[in-house]
Structure 1
Amino acid sequence: MAVLAELIELLETRYPPHLAESWDSVGLVCGDPADAVTAVLTCVDVTDAVVDAAVGGGFELVVAHHPLLLRGVDTVGAHTPKGRLVHRLIRSGCALYTAHTNADIARPGVSDALGDALGLVDMLPLQPTTTPAMDKWAVFVPQTDTDRVAEAMFAAGAGEIGDYSECRWSVTGTGRFRPGEGAHPTIGTVGQVESVVEDRVEMVADRGRREAVLAALRDAHPYEEPAFDLLETVPVATDTGLGRIGRLPDPMSLRDFTDHVARSLTVAPWGVRAAGDPESTVTTVAVCGGAGDSLIDTAAASGADVFVTADLRHHPVDEHLREHELAVIDAGHWATEFPWCAQVSSVLAAHDPSLVVHEYGDTTDRFTMHAGPQA
Structure 2
Amino acid sequence: MESFAPKSYAMEGDKIGLQIGSLNRNVKRVLAALDVLEHVVDEAIEKDAQMIVAHHPVIYRPLSAIDLDGRYGKMIEKLIKHDIAVYAAHTNLDVAPGGVNDMLCERLQLRDAEPLVPTKEIPLKKLVCFVPKDHLQPVIDALGKAGAGAIGNYSYCSFAAEGIGRFLPGENTNPFIGRPGKLEEVEEVRLETIFPETIEKQVIARMLESHPYEEPAYDIYPLENEGMKLGLGRIGIAHEEMGLDEYAEFVKKALRAKAVRVVGNPGHRVRKVAVLGGDGNKFFSYAKEKGADVYITGDVYYHTAHDALMAGLNIIDPGHHMEHVMKEQTAEKLNRLFREAGLDAEALPSEPPTDPFRFV
Quickly name the TM-score band, shorter chain normalised.
0.5 to 0.7
Aligned 8 A contact 1:128 1:238 in 2: no
Query: Out of 255, 260, 268, which is 1:265 matched to?
Result: 255
Aligned to 1:181: none
Query: Out of 234, 245, 251, which is 2:235 matched to?
Result: 245
Query: Out of 270, 293, 315, which is 1:328 matched to?
Result: 315
1:291-370 → structure 2 map (5 Å cutoff): 291-324=279-312, 326-334=313-321, 336-353=322-339, 354-368=344-358, 370=359
* Deviations 1:148-195, CA, capped at 9 Å, x for gaps: xxxxxxxxxxxxx8689xxxxxxxxxxxxxxxxxxxxxxxxxxxxxxx
Aligned 8 A contact 1:107 1:239 in 2: no
1:165-176 → structure 2 map (5 Å cutoff): none
Q: Following TM superposition, by how much is the alpha carbon of 1:131 offset from its aligned partner in structure 2, in angstroms?
A: 4.4
- What's the TM-score once normalised by structure 2's chain length? 0.68
Q: What is the SS of the residue equivalent to 2:61?
A: coil
- What's the TM-score once normalised by structure 1's chain length? 0.65
Aligned to 2:263: 275
Q: Following TM superposition, by how much is the alpha carbon of 1:104 offset from its aligned partner in structure 2, in angstroms?
A: 1.3
Measured at CA, do residues 356 and 243 of structure 1 come closer, stay the same or move farther in structure 2, by a change above 3 Å?
Answer: same
Q: Following TM superposition, by how much is the alpha carbon of 1:244 offset from its aligned partner in structure 2, in angstroms?
A: 0.3
Measured at CA, do residues 237 and 321 of structure 1 come closer, stay the same or move farther in structure 2, by a change above 3 Å?
Answer: farther
CA distance in 2, matches of 1:277, 1:122: 26
Q: What is the SS of the residue equivalent to 1:117?
A: helix
1:77-226 → structure 2 map (5 Å cutoff): 77-131=67-121
Query: Structure 1: any 5+ residue segments left out of the alignment?
Result: 1-10, 133-160, 165-203, 205-235
Q: Following TM superposition, by how much is the alpha carbon of 1:116 offset from its aligned partner in structure 2, in angstroms?
A: 0.8
Q: Following TM superposition, by how much is the alpha carbon of 1:96 offset from its aligned partner in structure 2, in angstroms?
A: 0.8
Aligned to 1:49: 39
CA distance in 1, matches of 2:301, 2:81: 41
Size of the aligned set, in residue pairs, is: 262
Matched, 1:18 2:8: yes
> Aligned residues: percent identity?
33
Aligned 8 A contact 1:110 1:289 in 2: yes
Q: Following TM superposition, by how much is the alpha carbon of 1:61 offset from its aligned partner in structure 2, in angstroms?
A: 1.0
Q: What is the SS of the residue equivalent to 1:297?
A: helix
Query: Structure 2: any 5+ residue segments left out of the alignment?
Result: 123-196, 201-221
Measured at CA, do residues 322 and 337 of structure 1 come closer, stay the same or move farther in structure 2, by a change above 3 Å?
Answer: same
CA distance in 1, matches of 2:227, 2:300: 27
What amino acid is aligned across from residue 298 of structure 2 in structure 1?
A
Q: Following TM superposition, by how much is the alpha carbon of 1:75 offset from its aligned partner in structure 2, in angstroms?
A: 3.2
* Deviations 1:179-237, CA, capped at 9 Å, x for gaps: xxxxxxxxxxxxxxxxxxxxxxxxx9xxxxxxxxxxxxxxxxxxxxxxxxxxxxxxx77
CA distance in 2, matches of 1:267, 1:315: 23
Aligned 8 A contact 1:348 1:355 in 2: no
What amino acid is aligned across from residue 262 of structure 2 in structure 1?
A
CA distance in 2, matches of 1:130, 1:57: 38
Q: What is the SS of the residue equivalent to 2:310?
A: helix
Q: Following TM superposition, by how much is the alpha carbon of 1:362 offset from its aligned partner in structure 2, in angstroms?
A: 2.8
Q: What is the SS of the residue equivalent to 1:37?
A: coil
Please tell me the root mean square deviation across aligned C-alpha atoms, in Å: 2.6
What amino acid is aligned across from residue 298 of structure 1 in structure 2?
Y
Q: Following TM superposition, by how much is the alpha carbon of 1:83 offset from its aligned partner in structure 2, in angstroms?
A: 2.7
